[in-house]
Structure 1
């Protein structure tokens, strides 16, 4: 069911490219394979040298775990090649909606791929962004749920060298907030991608718009490179304190994942053999347990962030790590973390 149209933008080098031969050097059986899972964060693209389209995603999602549905998140993929600049992101929603339709038509028990769609719209358009949002709602075929407008910024040049940073304090800009105000009016959510020193900026935004559902991506973007690599214990304390503050905003939810990218500073892809799920769970548990403890399972959801995280581990190993982290939680809490929270936040129709 591969589908595509126009090439995507070049990839930032915040993640390492997946190497199938290397990933095959470590294999393990899926833990608790019958547990229903909603993967609330994955991408599809046709970037030169690293295509990852529907067939590849389905292959990963059916490699051992019971993925029942997924949420597509914008990645500057399949934009319209012409027309008004502001409207070009609508092409990405059109693309993801076609994937969702094909997945529905397959009817072979495969996951409901792109059951929810998170697109992009430039909130700096202010009130003019409403026309873009309305066009994306129409293009989404009933699957469009919200947008992501990345605000990640850090002055450290090492961070800037692996990820294209945005302007400083973008979330405080008047135009940004005028655009943001239209999300709740249209029943749309906001996915936030930032770095951990910016969480107080997001908290201010969340308090200013309490009626808007906000989903903080990738455990709040903890940085472990550049100047942040000098004292990891202090960085973790700062990150955890910021998580505690943002947890006070009830409209903020958390995606647990995105830690197998270079930002955290753990370069597993440089090892001879990929990491095991035990090793990943040990490395990630302090972050994920902190998020769950402070926000609660009903506001947290495990995510794959594939294919970026595929550079350091396989899909099966990734979700095994999550299941190891969740092993001490009760059944209702596990259900929330693996499916119910994502299903509710993104308004998915699940059996």
Structure 2
């Protein structure tokens, strides 16, 4: 494969292809190496084009940063092949709970991978969703923290980056909302993955359920492809306005990451060399800072979104970039952004926020 062919493949939809040889061309020393990190967003899967299981995850977690724990977020993997199809997604929770148990044994070091689990339950089942949510809790009582039912939809095929995009209009749908209503009584959170034009719908959903903890993924899904390409300043104003409005809802949190996806419109994956952490901090900094300004460090958390964002940079470079972006924060604010907020949002053991 020629360098040009590799660059094209790295940028191919729906997600960046991980080019390990290309990533190896960029090395950096770890910044602020003793700072405890809880990574609140990564996946584990076994797909035809990509395998990212515990060994691959550990290889990234053990690249120099003091990662103390992680939260797994659903990716439609390891579903049950038999039984009532409404409970198929419980299989993913069962599987990841086993991964978490393996990590908790200490056999693989001090990090506690998958200390929290965000599963998938189809909320359009309405009130019956409670039965499936309870089944997930029963299978992983210590680790199951909430669900993500992806609602990210856009009319442009360039924007829609999911292998199986959801139908439009899920958040206002009565059946979806009936399912959503089952979360708070069970003490469960909702991870919201939508594109930025959908944020007004998310605000309406949050207002309808003020007792449900909502964790917004990937900077609120700022899109820079398709109809949003070439409109950087306008899109920023539109996106920031809804981010500021959403942040006024006290039951919301936001994840600072997922920026390496092609959705963000950056061209790092097309370059001959992977980006440095300084380059990433300069390019991504305005968006991250806008979210921190809106939500405050106590409701904002850095995330890796690996292996998806690994198409853009290595784990070491990514967290170096985050640390550069947080240089102007106080020690207490950094403690929140890198671990404390994730611990509170997901109800994780407080010990994960302390230096090992």
TM tier, smaller: over 0.9
How far residue 179 of structure 1 moved from its aligned partner, in angstroms, is: 0.5
- Corresponding residue for 1:181? 181
> Which whole-Å CA distance do the structure 2 matches of 1:229 and 1:49 have between them?
28
- Corresponding residue for 1:326? 326
How far residue 161 of structure 1 moved from its aligned partner, in angstroms, is: 6.5
- Corresponding residue for 1:245? 245
- Corresponding residue for 2:150? 150
Q: After superposition, what is the alpha-carbon deviation per residue over 1:13-60, rounded to whole angstroms, capped at 9, x for unaligned?
A: 332111110000001011001000000000000111310000111110
Q: After superposition, what is the alpha-carbon deviation per residue over 1:232-252, rounded to whole angstroms, capped at 9, x for unaligned?
A: 111111111110110111111
Report if the CA contact (8 A) 1:31-1:320 is conserved.
yes
- Corresponding residue for 1:279? 279
- Corresponding residue for 1:13? 13
> Which runs of 5 or more residues in structure 2 are unaligned?
1-11, 352-356
> Which whole-Å CA distance do the structure 2 matches of 1:83 and 1:121 have between them?
16
- Corresponding residue for 1:211? 211
- Corresponding residue for 1:116? 116
- Report whether the alignment pairs 1:315 with 2:315: yes
- Report whether the alignment pairs 1:159 with 2:165: no
- Corresponding residue for 1:9? none
Structure 1 residues 49, 164: CA separation in 2 closer, same or farther (over 3 Å shift)? Answer: closer
- Corresponding residue for 2:29? 29
How far residue 109 of structure 1 moved from its aligned partner, in angstroms, is: 3.3
Q: After superposition, what is the alpha-carbon deviation per residue over 1:269-288, rounded to whole angstroms, capped at 9, x for unaligned?
A: 22110000000001111111
> Which whole-Å CA distance do the structure 1 matches of 2:152 and 2:90 have between them?
22
Report if the CA contact (8 A) 1:58-1:110 is conserved.
no
> Which whole-Å CA distance do the structure 2 matches of 1:13 and 1:240 have between them?
26
- Report whether the alignment pairs 1:44 with 2:44: yes
> Which runs of 5 or more residues in structure 1 are unaligned?
1-11
- Corresponding residue for 2:200? 200
- Corresponding residue for 1:338? 338
Q: CA RMSD in A?
A: 1.3
Aligned residue pairs total 340
Q: Which moved more, 1:100-109 or 1:59-68?
A: 100-109
Report if the CA contact (8 A) 1:97-1:141 is conserved.
no
How far residue 230 of structure 1 moved from its aligned partner, in angstroms, is: 2.2
- Report whether the alignment pairs 1:84 with 2:90: no
Report if the CA contact (8 A) 1:193-1:217 is conserved.
yes
Q: After superposition, what is the alpha-carbon deviation per residue over 1:61-115, rounded to whole angstroms, capped at 9, x for unaligned?
A: 1101000000000000111112111100000000110001000112553310000
TM-score, length basis structure 2 = 0.93
- Corresponding residue for 1:260? 260
Report if the CA contact (8 A) 2:161-2:263 is conserved.
no
Report if the CA contact (8 A) 1:229-1:265 is conserved.
yes
Q: SS at 1:170's partner residue?
A: coil
